Structure 1
Amino acid sequence: MRLPLIGTLKLRGRLTLYVTLLAVAPLLLSTWAGVSTTQEMMQAQVHEMLRIEAEGLKDLVEASLAERETSVRSWADDALLRESLQRDTYALSDGVLSRLQLRYTTFTGLVLFTDDGRAVSASTPALRDSFAGQEAAVRDAAWFKAAQQGRFTSTTLTQEDPVFGMQVLHLAAPVMEARGGRRLGVLLAAYDWGQVGEVVKAALARARSRKNESFALEVRTASGTVLFDSRGKDAWNIPNAVAEQAINGPEIPDVGDGWRFVALSDPEEVYATMHKLRAGTAVAVMAVVALAALAALLLSRGITAPITRLSQVVRRIVQEGDLTQKPDVRSDDEVGELARSFVQLVDHLRETTESLQRGTQVLTDTVAELTRAAEQEESNLTRQAAALQQTQVTAQEIKQTSDVAAERAAAVLMVATRADELGQSGARSLAESMSGFQALRDQVNEMSEQIGGLNERAQRIGGITQTVKGLADRSNMLALNAAIEAVRSGEHGKGFGIVAKEIRTLANQSIQSTGQVGGLLEDITQAILKTVELSEQGQLRMEAGMVQARTSGESIHALTEIVQDNMNAVRQISGAVSQQNAGINEIFGALTDLSSLMHETMVGLQATQRVTQALREVAEQMQHVARSYRV
């Protein structure tokens, strides 16, 4: 992989760079490790110093608070204070508080309160008067409530006390009855919180001696509220301060449990020595890097000078093709061995070039002969391909004609087969028709006989009709005579006359009906005669049709035999055409294979020509290369 910058450098530049890196890298690593270790040690020392100062401040304040709390509790057990509260006479208590104020100057004042918050005695009368009328405020004060519960609190330390006019720590303890345990009042000792500044003076002086002007100490509550800052009220902010803290634990119970004592300093100041060490180390390293780079440059120049001269000889051989040159390198190291090997390489290259020139001439002549033979072979194959293509076209036409003949022979065979089927079907139909005609003739004969019998029955019915008519005429005459006799009989013959009248009516109706039946019988007889005549004519025509159908059956049978003979002939012709078509297909397939073979031969010949052309070009290139060197 080529690096973006190093890949563009020449050998001299790369050698200078690599040697410089080999010389400088261990130095840089060791220097970096030393500086890092020193920096970590100095940082650890700074943090340890700050931690010690924070712990010292914590121990001092914690011991002071514990001592002050113990003192306040012992003062609250004083018998004179208890007696003053019981007797309500405070001259003795004022004296006690005044002496304590003079002895313990860290307290700014001491006040004795009753249990209802009234100030009854103080270290000074002015201080007692300052609490006059403030009983309610005293009872609501956090330190007073804590004292009534027997404990201390520091919640009021975060603000300035209005009575004392400063920031004080209210250390208040209950005054209890000696025997009954009843609370009599509360003793307040206001610890001057400004006295913490006297405690930290020694630590600040040590920091100034170390030239650490930014050193500061802070006291914070557990919530982070600042209770004390050695820099005063107008404390400046130290960005990214180096800080360590100590926490006031419950090992020694006091009012400051949970407070954080912080020692901090400006990092630019505490790390100034480390920054100077780092700058000096960087200057020394840069000087060493410059010396190493100079030495590496001189070394790489001594190594690459012979290689440069050898490269110039190689470039001249490549550009001018002059193999008679020899590099002027006098050295016994690896570069000298490379130069001598290069001289041997040039000698071998000279011999190879001479052999190459002779070989290229032979190769050129051989390629020329091979080209002429390939051209002659291509000409012959071209003529053969043209003749074969013409033969293939003719065979294709014959094949198409044979296919058409085979299709037509198959069509004629199908037509002949259909004609044979139709002839056989016609013969069967004609035989069935003859059978039908015979049955029809029998039915016509039978119908003629039945019509003749029907004619005879109609004549018989006519006779019966004449008889009935005669009977009706006689009944009419008898009825007429009966009517005449009934008239003659008068009244006795009226009933007989009515009967005679009815009989006469029936006789007339019988005569009319007989006339109608006679007319119908006449019509039936004429129809029967006409039917008999038509049956005789149909029978004659049927006989003539049967003769013609018999003649047609014989003709159809002869036609069927002719069609059968034609179908056999067509089947033989179709078989011969199929065999001829199969032979033509084989001939066409052979011609197609021969054409494919001829095409493959042409492709091979063209490939040979391409190879010959490539050999010609290679020979020309080899000849050009061989002639480009002077030997």
Structure 2
Amino acid sequence: MRLPLIGTLKLRGRLTLYVTLLAVAPLFISTWLGVSITQEMMQEQVHEMLRIEAEGLKDLVEASLAERETSVRSWAEDALLRESLQRNSYALSDAVLSRLQLRYTTFTGLVLFTEDGKAVSASTPALRESFEGQEAAVRDAPWFKAAQQGRFTSATLTQEDPVFGMQVLHLAAPVMESRGGRRMGVLLAAYDWGQVGEVVKAALARARSRKNESFALEVRNGAGSVLFDSRGEKAWSIPNAVAVEAINGPEIPDVGDGWRFVALSDPEEVYATMNKLRAGTAAGVMAAAALAILAALLLSRGITAPITRLSQVVRRIVQEGDLTQKPDVRSDDEVGELARSFVQLVDHLRETTESLQRGTQVLTDTVAELTRAAEQEESNLTRQAAALQQTQVTAQEIKQTSEVAADRAAAVLMVASRAEELGQGGVRALAESMNGFQTLRDQVNEMSEQISGLNERAQRIGGITLTVKGLADRSNMLALNAAIEAVRSGEHGKGFGIVAKEIRTLANQSIQSTGQVGGLLEDITQAIHKTVELSEQGKLRMEAGLTQARTSGESIEALSGIVQDNMNAVRQISNAVSQQNAGINEIFGALTDLSSLMHDTMVGLQATQRVSQSLREVAEQMQHVARSYRV
């Protein structure tokens, strides 16, 4: 791979670069590893030192708080304090608190309160007077409420106490009865929080001895509020400070559980030694790199000088074509061996050039003959290809015409087949129609005979109706005569008269019914006569239709025969056209193969011409090259 910068350098520059890299790279890597390891070790040492200081401060403050809390609880159990609260006499309690104040100087004051927050006794009268009238504020104070619950709190440590005038830790414990366990009051011991500054003096002195002026210690509560800062009220900000914190855990229960003790310092100061070491190491590495570069320059110059002289000789040979040049390199190393090998190479090149000049002339003549023969063959093949192309076009047209004829023959064959099927169907339909007409004629004849018989029966019924009418008339007459006779007979003939009347009534009804039946028979007779006439007409028309159907059947049978003959002829034409199309396809396929062969021949000939051209160009180049050297 050719690098963007290194690929443009000459041998001397690359040798200088590679030797410098071989000398400087391990130095840089080892120095970087050493500095990194040293920096990591120093950082670990700094963090360990800060951790020790933070842990030490935590242990001291934790032990001090635990001790003060224990003391306050034991003082709250003092019998004199209980007795003072019980008797409401506080001379003894004042003496006890004053004595404790003198003995434990870390407390700024001790105060005894009743349950309602009233200060009844203190280590000094002035302190007791300071709490006068502050009962409500005392009852609302977090430390008073915590004391009533039997625990300590540091909620008020973040601000200055208005009574004591300083930052104090309110350690308050309940005063209980010895027997009943009733809470009687609260004992407050105000721990001077400024005493923490005395605790951290030793740690600050150790830091000063290490020239670490920025070292500081902080105490923060669980919420992050600063409870103590060794730098005082005008604490300065340390950007990117190196800080390690220790957390006061619940192992030793005290009011400071959850507090964070932070040891921090300025990184520029604690890492000053490391920065100096890094700067000195960088200066040493740069000096070593400069020496390595100088040595690499001298080494590369000694190696490349003979190669430069050899390169000049090669350049003259290439530019002037003078093979009589010989390099002037007096050396027994690899460069000298290269120069001697180059002299042998020039001798062989001189001999090769002489042979090449003789061979190129023969090659040029041969290529000229081959080119003339290829041009003549190309001219003949071009004419043959043109004729073959014209034949192929004609065959293509014949093939298209044959395909159209085959398609038309197939279409005619399909139409003829359909006509044959329709003709045969027509013959079958006509035969079925003839049979239907014959059956219909028989049915008409039979219906005509039945109608004739029905007419005769209707005439007979008419005669019977006339007979019934006559009988009814006679019955009516007889009934009239009987009624007359019944009237003549008087009372004896009344019953017979009623019968005669009924008979007359029946006779009249028979006459009416006979008249109606006669009218109906007359209508039926007329309808039968019309039906007979229509049957005769339908019979005549049926005979005429049957005759026409026979004539149409004979015509359709003749047409079916003609269609069958045409169908046979179309099949023969279709077979002939298919055979012709197959033959034309074979001819066209042969012409296509011949055209492909002709194309392949042309391609081979063109390839031969290109090879001849390439040989001509190579021969000319060989002649040019062979003539460019003087031998």
Q: Same fold (TM over 0.5)?
A: yes
Residue of structure 2 equivalent to 1:587: 587
Q: Give the direction of change, closer, same or farther, for the CA distance of 1:509–1:622 in structure 2 (3 Å limit).
A: same
Q: Give the direction of change, closer, same or farther, for the CA distance of 1:80–1:565 in structure 2 (3 Å limit).
A: closer
Query: Shift of the alpha carbon at 1:628?
Result: 0.8
Query: Shift of the alpha carbon at 1:588?
Result: 11
Moved more, 614-623 or 416-425: 416-425
Query: Shift of the alpha carbon at 1:360?
Result: 0.5
Residue of structure 1 equivalent to 2:28: 28
Q: Give the direction of change, closer, same or farther, for the CA distance of 1:434–1:22 in structure 2 (3 Å limit).
A: closer
Q: Give the direction of change, closer, same or farther, for the CA distance of 1:568–1:184 in structure 2 (3 Å limit).
A: closer
Q: Deviations over 1:547-573 (max 9, x none)?
A: 999999999999999999999999999
Moved more, 548-557 or 378-387: 548-557
Moved more, 183-192 or 578-587: 578-587
Distance 2:414 2:309 in 1: 101
Q: Give the direction of change, closer, same or farther, for the CA distance of 1:95–1:318 in structure 2 (3 Å limit).
A: same
Moved more, 388-397 or 112-121: 388-397
Q: Give the direction of change, closer, same or farther, for the CA distance of 1:96–1:394 in structure 2 (3 Å limit).
A: closer
Q: Give the direction of change, closer, same or farther, for the CA distance of 1:621–1:83 in structure 2 (3 Å limit).
A: same
Q: Give the direction of change, closer, same or farther, for the CA distance of 1:149–1:320 in structure 2 (3 Å limit).
A: same
Q: Give the direction of change, closer, same or farther, for the CA distance of 1:517–1:376 in structure 2 (3 Å limit).
A: same
Moved more, 536-545 or 381-390: 536-545
Query: Alignment partner of 1:158: what SS?
Result: coil
Query: Shift of the alpha carbon at 1:468?
Result: 35
Which structure is larger by alpha-carbon Rg, 1 or 2?
1
Query: Shift of the alpha carbon at 1:414?
Result: 18
Query: Shift of the alpha carbon at 1:221?
Result: 0.7
Moved more, 461-470 or 354-363: 461-470
Query: Shift of the alpha carbon at 1:247?
Result: 1.6
Residue of structure 2 equivalent to 1:357: 357
Distance 1:500 1:181 in 2: 148
Distance 1:284 1:110 in 2: 67
Query: Shift of the alpha carbon at 1:425?
Result: 20
Residue of structure 1 equivalent to 2:224: 224
Query: Shift of the alpha carbon at 1:272?
Result: 0.9
Query: Shift of the alpha carbon at 1:375?
Result: 4.9
Distance 2:102 2:402 in 1: 152
Distance 2:321 2:187 in 1: 117
Moved more, 529-538 or 345-354: 529-538
Q: Deviations over 1:361-398 (max 9, x none)?
A: 11122223334444555667778889999999999999
Distance 1:511 1:118 in 2: 150
Moved more, 269-278 or 502-511: 502-511
Query: Shift of the alpha carbon at 1:574?
Result: 15
Q: Give the direction of change, closer, same or farther, for the CA distance of 1:616–1:493 in structure 2 (3 Å limit).
A: same
Query: Shift of the alpha carbon at 1:405?
Result: 16
Query: Alignment partner of 2:264: what SS?
Result: strand
Q: Give the direction of change, closer, same or farther, for the CA distance of 1:425–1:314 in structure 2 (3 Å limit).
A: same
Q: Give the direction of change, closer, same or farther, for the CA distance of 1:269–1:478 in structure 2 (3 Å limit).
A: closer
Moved more, 311-320 or 270-279: 311-320
Q: Give the direction of change, closer, same or farther, for the CA distance of 1:8–1:86 in structure 2 (3 Å limit).
A: same
Moved more, 83-92 or 608-617: 608-617
Query: Shift of the alpha carbon at 1:149?
Result: 2.5
Query: Shift of the alpha carbon at 1:615?
Result: 2.2
Distance 1:528 1:258 in 2: 134
Q: Deviations over 1:379-436 (max 9, x none)?
A: 6777888999999999999999999999999999999999999999999999999999
Query: Shift of the alpha carbon at 1:47?
Result: 0.9
Q: Give the direction of change, closer, same or farther, for the CA distance of 1:609–1:187 in structure 2 (3 Å limit).
A: closer
Moved more, 557-566 or 479-488: 479-488
Query: Alignment partner of 2:227: what SS?
Result: strand
Distance 2:91 2:513 in 1: 185
Query: Shift of the alpha carbon at 1:180?
Result: 2.9
Distance 1:76 1:498 in 2: 154
Q: Give the direction of change, closer, same or farther, for the CA distance of 1:512–1:612 in structure 2 (3 Å limit).
A: same
Q: Deviations over 1:489-528 (max 9, x none)?
A: 9999999999999999999999999999999999999999
Query: Alignment partner of 1:280: what SS?
Result: helix
Q: Give the direction of change, closer, same or farther, for the CA distance of 1:451–1:152 in structure 2 (3 Å limit).
A: closer
Distance 2:115 2:509 in 1: 168
Q: Give the direction of change, closer, same or farther, for the CA distance of 1:514–1:610 in structure 2 (3 Å limit).
A: same
Distance 2:59 2:155 in 1: 21
Moved more, 73-82 or 321-330: 73-82
Q: Give the direction of change, closer, same or farther, for the CA distance of 1:619–1:111 in structure 2 (3 Å limit).
A: same
Counting matched residue pairs gives 631
Query: Alignment partner of 2:172: what SS?
Result: strand
Q: Give the direction of change, closer, same or farther, for the CA distance of 1:468–1:317 in structure 2 (3 Å limit).
A: same
Q: Give the direction of change, closer, same or farther, for the CA distance of 1:17–1:503 in structure 2 (3 Å limit).
A: closer
Query: Shift of the alpha carbon at 1:535?
Result: 29
Distance 1:183 1:242 in 2: 49
Distance 1:271 1:358 in 2: 83
Distance 1:164 1:260 in 2: 26
Q: Give the direction of change, closer, same or farther, for the CA distance of 1:473–1:608 in structure 2 (3 Å limit).
A: same
Q: Give the direction of change, closer, same or farther, for the CA distance of 1:220–1:504 in structure 2 (3 Å limit).
A: closer
Query: Shift of the alpha carbon at 1:150?
Result: 2.3
Q: Deviations over 1:242-264 (max 9, x none)?
A: 11112222222222122111111
Identity %: 91
Distance 1:90 1:75 in 2: 15
Distance 1:89 1:501 in 2: 160
Q: Deviations over 1:559-611 (max 9, x none)?
A: 99999999999999999999999999999999998888777666655554443
Q: Give the direction of change, closer, same or farther, for the CA distance of 1:327–1:491 in structure 2 (3 Å limit).
A: same
Query: Shift of the alpha carbon at 1:71?
Result: 2.1
Moved more, 413-422 or 253-262: 413-422
Query: Shift of the alpha carbon at 1:229?
Result: 0.5
Residue of structure 1 equivalent to 2:619: 619
Distance 2:152 2:532 in 1: 163
Query: Shift of the alpha carbon at 1:82?
Result: 2.1
Query: Shift of the alpha carbon at 1:283?
Result: 0.5
Q: Give the direction of change, closer, same or farther, for the CA distance of 1:608–1:103 in structure 2 (3 Å limit).
A: closer
Q: Deviations over 1:143-196 (max 9, x none)?
A: 122222222221111111111111111111222223333322222111111111
RMSD: 9.2
Query: Alignment partner of 1:156: what SS?
Result: coil
Residue of structure 2 equivalent to 1:596: 596
Q: Give the direction of change, closer, same or farther, for the CA distance of 1:330–1:90 in structure 2 (3 Å limit).
A: same
Moved more, 470-479 or 63-72: 470-479
Q: Give the direction of change, closer, same or farther, for the CA distance of 1:143–1:567 in structure 2 (3 Å limit).
A: closer
- Give 1:563-574 correspondences, 5 Å limit: none
Query: Shift of the alpha carbon at 1:10?
Result: 1.5
Moved more, 596-605 or 61-70: 596-605
Query: Shift of the alpha carbon at 1:199?
Result: 1.3
Residue of structure 2 equivalent to 1:5: 5
State the TM-score, normalizing by the size of structure 2. 0.69
Residue of structure 2 equivalent to 1:519: 519
